[in-house]
Structure formats: structure tokens, C-alpha cells
Amino acid sequence: MLKLGIRRRGRRVARFVRDKIRNGIWNRYFGERHVTVIRPSRGWRMLDLKELWAYRELLWIFILRDIKLRYKQTFLGCTWAVIQPFTSMVVFSLIFGHWAKIPSDGYPYPIFVYAGLLPWTFFITALSHSANSVVASSNLITKVYFPRLVIPLASVGAALLDFFVASCLMLGLMLYYGIGWHANLWAIPILLLAAAFTALGVGTLVSALMVSYRDFRFVVPFLTQIWMYATPVIFPVGLVPRYWRWALYLNPMAGIIDGFRSAFLGKFFNWDILGLSFCAGALMFFIGVAYFEKVERRFADII
């Protein structure tokens, strides 16, 4: 009889515990109402904007980290963001403007080439830093979960500071050469957003490939150097023969840089090349981000 009573009491206790767990009282007692299980995705998946928005504070912390690391223990600080395009402007003006006599659509060649160097410097800075960002953050990736896309996205966001600092010199050059500030300047945020999306698309693609193939770090400097001479940075679009302009229009940065020149110098926008460049940049963005999202589940294992 004693053993039978113990068995019945044990069954009642077991039913009590089971009912408490089912009703959620046990979970509330220990302070855990929900359990989140993280599983790797399979195949291709779309960009999860909701997840990125949930980690927006982490993105801001990464942007500040990249900015501090870039200018930590520097003598000139953010002035380096102006020195690089300004030095290139002086060299290009001497070689291509003064000696080679490359046309500049009737504008002084220094301000003409600086209007192209300004977005191009932002593009290559965002591209190079985002391409190396995942490998550089390997210690963080192997320890905690967060959307890996935050890392290259923060590199692009940090490059915006250099663009804003270098733009101050451009506004001063406009006044120096007698080009007033006009309504076309309102198009700069849209053009800058297009350049950022293009840099993010190429940067995420290269960063994902660099995790598996480290020799891609040698591809980025070579790619940007060739890409610059295929982009109207030092020459106007009208200098390209008409039967070759279709190839120029496939370059997303060609229309964006021509749009920046129209915005700064007050020219008419070339909507044909601008529209095709926007479409090409959007295609690069979706290809790069889609491949990044597909392979990011393997980063912690092989990085």
C-alpha cells in the first residue's frame, strides 16, 4: 500500500509539472517566455530588411568603429578625405588637362575632373573597405550571431563621412570658378545613394568570395584601376564614339558620375545614360547581396 501511494503521488506531481509547463507558468517563473532557435538557411534567400532594422544600433556602432579606426592616431584626421581627391585633381589637370588637352565641356578642367573624382573616390573607398570587411571581422563572426551584411554595410556608411568632407572643397571650387549653387544640387543625395548601392553590391560579392578565396584581395586594386579608365572620370561622355557608347552605358558608375557633373556644374541631365546606369547598379546590388546571403551561413566555418 505504501508503494502504491508513492506511485500515485509521483504521478500527481508529474501531471502538475506538465500542466504548469503547458500553461507557461514554469517559463514565467524562470523569466524565459520564448526560445529563439537559429537555423542556417538553405539555398537562395531574399534580403531580410526586418532583421537589418532590428540590428540598426549594431550597424551604427560598426560605422563609428570604422571611422575611429580609420582616423585613430592621425595628425591630419579627416583632412585626408580632401587630400586624396585634391592631389589627384592637380595631377590629372596637369597631365590630361594642360598637356593632353582633353576637352571638359567648356568648364575649367580642375573643377570638371574634381566633380568626377569626388563620387569616384567615395565609390572605390566604399568598395575596397567593404570587400575586406568580412575577413577583417573574422574574430567577431566566429563568436556571436548577427546579420553578416551589417559588416560591409557599415564600411559603406563610414565612407560617407569622407564624401561630405571632400564636398566642402567642391562647393568652394564652384564659387572660385564662378559657378553658383543651383537647384541641380538637390539631385546629389539620389546620385550618392545610387553610388552607395553599386559599391555595396560589388563589395558584398567580393567580400563573400574573399572568405573562400583569399587571392581576391589582389583583384580589388586591379579592378578599381581598370574600372576608373572605363569610367568618364577624366574625360567627358561626348569624347566616346557613338558606336561604343552602349558599352559605356553598361557601366553603372558612368551615368552616376555624369549625373554628379550635371548636379555640380549645372548641366542638363543625360537621362538615357543615367537610367541605364541606375538599372545596371541595381542589378549589381541584387546579385552581390543575393550571393552574400546565400553563402553567409558558411562564413563561421571556413573564415
Residue-by-residue DSSP string for 63-90: HHHHHHHHHTT-SSGGGHHHHHHHHHHH
pLDDT of residue 2: 43
- pLDDT reading at 13 higher than 80: no
pLDDT at residue 215 tops 80: no
How many folded domains does the chain comprise? 1
Rg of the chain over CA atoms, in angstroms? Answer: 27
Asked if pLDDT for residue 132 goes beyond 80, the answer is yes
Which region holds residue 108: left if phi is over 0, alpha if psi is between -120 and 50, else beta?
beta
pLDDT of residue 9: 54
User: Does residue 34 have a pLDDT over 60?
Assistant: no
Is 1 inside a domain boundary?
no
Percent of the chain with pLDDT over 70: 84
d(CA 56, CA 73): 28
Contacts with 88 (C-beta within 8 Å, 6 or more apart), sequence order: 113, 117, 121
Taking the whole predicted model, whether its pTM rises above 0.75 is answered as yes
Q: What's the domain range around 80?
A: 51-302
47 pLDDT higher than 70: yes
Per the listing, cell 564600411 goes with 155
Coil, strand or helix: which one is 137? coil
pLDDT at residue 3 in the model: 46
Question: Average pLDDT of 109-126?
Answer: 93
Residue 291 in domain: yes
pLDDT value of position 257: 93
All three cell numbers of 247, joined, read: 558599352
Task: Choose between 42 and 173: higher pLDDT.
Answer: 173
Q: Tell me the mean pLDDT in the region 194-204.
A: 93
Please check whether residue 232 lies inside any domain of the structure: yes
Q: Which residue has the cell 546571403?
A: 293
Report the length, in residues, of the chain.
303
From first CA to last CA, the distance across the chain in angstroms is 65
What's the pLDDT band for 44 if we cut at 50, 70, 90? low
The verdict on residue 71 lying in a domain is yes
Residue 141 within a domain: yes
Under 8 Å between Cβ of 195 and 122: yes
When mean pLDDT is compared across 2-16, 45-59, 211-225, the lowest value belongs to: 2-16
Contact 190, 197 (CB under 8 A): no
In a domain, 162, yes or no: yes
Task: Return the pLDDT at 270.
Answer: 83
Residue 113 lies in a domain: yes
In a domain, 42, yes or no: no
The HSE-up count of residue 276 (CA atoms within 13 Å, CB side) is 13
User: What would the pLDDT profile of 232-289 be if each residue is shown by its tens digit?
Assistant: 899 988 888 888 877 888 889 999 999 999 999 988 888 888 888 899 999 999 999 8
